[in-house]
């Protein structure tokens, strides 16, 4: 397809944010063009989704395809590194309709499905087409981008709006000097896909597993079942710890410092060690840095930044895709109003106020996770009846928060997080609950294999033997 000369809306990047904003605008009759540097399907990190994505999938028209092709996720289990405590948070405790069952995805398939769906809704998609520069000061408030197509040919394309959905490349924010790092949340993730592993300890019932690493690592391990025979396993640690470990491995003549570091960290958790013992790595390990930042400016009269292109915060609560897709949805509604009425400012102001509240709440919950004197998500459930009786509302709120309900009731969640971060409460709770091993009971969301893995996924695994 030849490169266009103009469109109403130009979108940089065809990941979940770009596909969402462009599909919703095309559904409302606007001419939208997406420029995507890669050819899809392409791999990406970030594979576990929140129940609150459900409504967006319905609106995009992909919910049935999700049910057919992706793994179902009833909740998340947090585990201490020594395996002594673990807590299973089931979304079904607070969400009573079918959306309590979320999804885990292979990103090559998920992102490709969303981009093809955008095309099916009339979005013009140009893959292997990199945006090289952007000009926000065109005549009469227009914008233009210079793009390079698959054959290297460059073209200038103009529009009324440009949306930056370029992910952690932060195309516009990086060029404008708007990007600011959160130094204290500076982490590095190293991850790989595995097959032939032991589907034990809740993986067979679709749970996302998060192992606390604690101490100087300030990190965690994720284990995500992304197929009936495939898991994604990643280690997240403080950047300084990562650099020190790699330097030590180099000094001890390791031939592959990334691999040696990765495997050594996985083996610190008895749970993960048992999962991988019989498995083989089929993809990776890959390293992802560039963690935790936000852009000072997020929108203006003819541009908007969505998803990771404006803010990225530590993915501990698997919130990134929902934050990104829902902000893209809110921005699409606002731009529709702008393109239709000619004045988008009030709608964009309102959308970004809601978006800022959601990111603030998630960031606060992340700081709670890393706070050594606050209640720990792995130990909370060990409290059993005690915590549930005394802090029933707080625990219900945390379930909602883990499910993704942070765009609507930020103030309430903020108060709950303050309560859980109170060191006095933590000290009392530690004596009565954490230090009593008899309270560390196993818990489950009660799913069986056939509910978690679709027919298609089971057949695929069987074919691989």
Ligand X SMILES: Cc1cc2nc3c(=O)[nH]c(=O)nc-3n(C[C@H](O)[C@H](O)[C@H](O)COP(=O)(O)OP(=O)(O)OC[C@H]3O[C@@H](n4cnc5c(N)ncnc54)[C@H](O)[C@@H]3O)c2cc1C
CB closer to ligand X, 25 vs 439: 25
CB of 32 closer than 8 Å to CB of 11? yes
What size, in residues, is the chain?
A: 465
CB closer to ligand X, 304 vs 434: 304
CB closer to ligand X, 165 vs 185: 165
DSSP letter assigned to residue 296: S
CB of 144 closer than 8 Å to CB of 3? no
Q: Using only the alpha carbons of the chain, give its radius of gyration.
A: 22
Dist. CA 48–CA 220, nearest whole Å: 15
We find the least distance from the C-beta atom of residue 38 to ligand X, in angstroms, to be: 5
We find the least distance from the C-beta atom of residue 126 to ligand X, in angstroms, to be: 9
DSSP secondary structure letters along 187-243:
EEEEEEEEES----TTGGGT-EEEEE--GGG--EEEEEE-SSSEEEEEEEEEHHHHH
Dist. CA 113–CA 61, nearest whole Å: 11
Exposed / middle / buried, residue 245 (Cβ in 10 Å: 0-12, 13-18, 19+): middle
We find the least distance from the C-beta atom of residue 36 to ligand X, in angstroms, to be: 5
* Contact residues for ligand X, defined by CB under 6 A: 12-18, 35-38, 44-49, 130-131, 165-169, 171, 189, 234, 288, 307-309, 315, 318-322, 324
We find the least distance from the C-beta atom of residue 129 to ligand X, in angstroms, to be: 7
We find the least distance from the C-beta atom of residue 263 to ligand X, in angstroms, to be: 18
Q: How many helices (H) and strands (E) does the chain have?
A: 16, 21
CB of 134 closer than 8 Å to CB of 175? yes
DSSP letter assigned to residue 132: E
Exposed / middle / buried, residue 465 (Cβ in 10 Å: 0-12, 13-18, 19+): exposed
Cis peptide before 285 (omega within 30 of 0): yes
CB closer to ligand X, 44 vs 72: 44
DSSP secondary structure letters along 232-295:
EEEEEEEHHHHHHHHHHHHHTT-S-HHHHHHHHHHTTSHHHHHHHTT-EEEEEEEEE---SEEE
CB closer to ligand X, 10 vs 387: 10
What values do phi and psi take at 79, rounded to 5? -130, 140
CB closer to ligand X, 45 vs 461: 45
We find the least distance from the C-beta atom of residue 188 to ligand X, in angstroms, to be: 9
- Tell me, rounded to whole angstroms, the distance of Cα 19 from its chain centroid: 15
Q: Could you tell me the strand order of the sheet in which 9-12 lies? A: 124-126, 32-35, 9-12, 161-164, 303-305, 299-300
Dist. CA 63–CA 47, nearest whole Å: 17
We find the least distance from the C-beta atom of residue 308 to ligand X, in angstroms, to be: 4
CB closer to ligand X, 88 vs 209: 209
We find the least distance from the C-beta atom of residue 330 to ligand X, in angstroms, to be: 14
CB closer to ligand X, 162 vs 348: 162
CB closer to ligand X, 49 vs 368: 49
CB closer to ligand X, 201 vs 315: 315
We find the least distance from the C-beta atom of residue 2 to ligand X, in angstroms, to be: 17
Residue 12, H or E segment: strand 9-12
We find the least distance from the C-beta atom of residue 374 to ligand X, in angstroms, to be: 22
We find the least distance from the C-beta atom of residue 12 to ligand X, in angstroms, to be: 5
**Closest to 32 measured CA to CA, from 172, 181, 159, 141:** 159
CB closer to ligand X, 191 vs 454: 191
Residue 156, H or E segment: strand 154-159
We find the least distance from the C-beta atom of residue 321 to ligand X, in angstroms, to be: 3
- Collapse the DSSP code of 374 into the 3-class scheme (helix H, G, I; strand E, B; otherwise coil) and give the result: coil
CB closer to ligand X, 171 vs 407: 171
CB of 341 closer than 8 Å to CB of 291? no
């Amino acid at each position: 397809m030849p490169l266009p000369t103009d469109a109403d809306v130009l979108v940089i990047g065809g990941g979940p944010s770009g596909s969402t904003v462009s599909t919703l605008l095309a559904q409302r009759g606007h001419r939208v063009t997406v420029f995507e540097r890669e050819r899809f399907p392409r791999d990406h990190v970030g594979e576990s989704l929140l129940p609150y994505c459900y409504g967006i999938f319905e609106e995009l028209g992909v919910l049935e395809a999700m049910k057919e092709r992706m793994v179902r996720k009833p909740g998340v289990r947090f585990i201490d590194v020594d395996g002594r405590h673990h807590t299973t948070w089931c979304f079904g405790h607070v969400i009573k309709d079918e959306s309590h069952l979320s999804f885990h995805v292979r990103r090559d398939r998920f992102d490709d499905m969303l981009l093809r769906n955008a095309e099916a809704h009339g979005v013009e998609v140009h893959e292997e087409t990199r945006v090289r520069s952007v000009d926000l000061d065109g005549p009469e408030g227009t914008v233009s981008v210079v793009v390079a197509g698959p054959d290297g040919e460059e073209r200038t394309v103009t529009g009324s709006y440009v949306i930056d959905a370029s992910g952690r490349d932060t195309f516009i924010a990086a060029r404008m000097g708007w990007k600011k790092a959160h130094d204290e949340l500076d982490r590095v993730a190293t991850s790989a896909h595995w097959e032939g592993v032991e589907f034990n300890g809740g993986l067979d019932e679709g749970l996302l597993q998060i192992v606390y690493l604690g101490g100087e690592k300030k990190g965690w391990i994720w284990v995500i079942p992304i197929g009936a025979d495939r898991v994604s396993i990643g280690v997240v640690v403080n950047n300084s710890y990562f650099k020190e470990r790699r330097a030590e491995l180099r000094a001890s003549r390791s031939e592959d410092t990334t691999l040696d570091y990765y495997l050594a960290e996985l083996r610190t958790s008895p749970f993960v060690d048992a999962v991988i013992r019989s498995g083989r790595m089929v993809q990776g390990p890959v390293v992802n840095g560039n963690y935790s930042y936000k852009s000072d400016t997020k929108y203006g009269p003819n541009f908007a930044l969505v998803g990771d292109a404006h803010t990225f915060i530590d993915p501990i609560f698997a919130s990134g895709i929902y934050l990104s897709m829902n902000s893209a949805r809110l921005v699409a509604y606002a731009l529709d109003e702008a393109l239709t009425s000619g004045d988008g400012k009030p709608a964009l102001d309102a959308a970004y106020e809601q978006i800022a509240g959601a990111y603030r709440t998630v960031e606060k919950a992340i700081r709670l996770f890393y706070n050594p004197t606050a209640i720990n998500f792995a130990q909370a459930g060990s409290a059993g009846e005690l915590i549930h009786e005394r802090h029933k509302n707080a625990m219900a709120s945390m379930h909602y928060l883990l499910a993704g309900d942070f765009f609507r009731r930020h103030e309430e969640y903020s108060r709950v997080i303050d309560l859980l971060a109170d060191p006095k409460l933590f000290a009392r709770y530690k004596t009565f609950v954490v230090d009593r091993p008899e309270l560390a009971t196993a818990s489950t969301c009660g799913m069986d294999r056939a509910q978690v893995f679709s027919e298609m996924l089971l057949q695929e695994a069987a074919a691989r033997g």
